Amino acid sequence: MDFAVNNDTEVDMSGYRFPAYVVRDRDGWAAHCPAFPDCRARGATYAEALENLRGVIRIFVEDGLGDDEPPPQHEAMSFTTLDLF
C-alpha cells in the first residue's frame, strides 16, 4: 500500500485497517491492537477507548514509516471467544 504525505507532513492513513478488541473492566474500557506489540489504550467509554487507540496506532504507523517499515496489513482476521472446559 502506498502512503501519501500532505503539506503538513502528516501521513494519510485513510486506507489502513487494523484489528482491535475492546474489553470492559472495573476501571473503564481497554482497547488493544494485536498488530503492534504493546499497542493499547484506555477510556472511560467504549468510544473513548477506540479513539485513544486510533491515536496510539497512528504513532506506531508513523514511527514505522519513518524507518521505512510498512504497517502490517492483513486480508482477513477472525476473533472468537473460547470456553475452557
Question: What is the extent of the structural domain holding 57?
Answer: 18-66
Instruction: Provide the pLDDT for residue 84.
Output: 93
This prediction has a pTM of 0.76
Domain assignment of residue 78, yes or no: no
Domain assignment of residue 57, yes or no: yes
Instruction: Provide the pLDDT for residue 10.
Output: 67
pLDDT average, residue stretch 32-61? 95
Domain assignment of residue 26, yes or no: yes
Q: How many domains does the chain have?
A: 1
Domain assignment of residue 73, yes or no: no
Domain assignment of residue 29, yes or no: yes
Q: pLDDT tens digits for 6-32?
A: 445 566 777 888 999 999 999 999 999
Domain assignment of residue 9, yes or no: no
Domain assignment of residue 83, yes or no: no
Q: Percent of the chain beyond pLDDT 70?
A: 87
Domain assignment of residue 3, yes or no: no
The beta strands (E) that lie in 1-85 are given as 4-5, 11-12, 21-25, 28-32, 40-43
Q: Decide if 29 contacts 42 (C-beta within 8 A).
A: yes
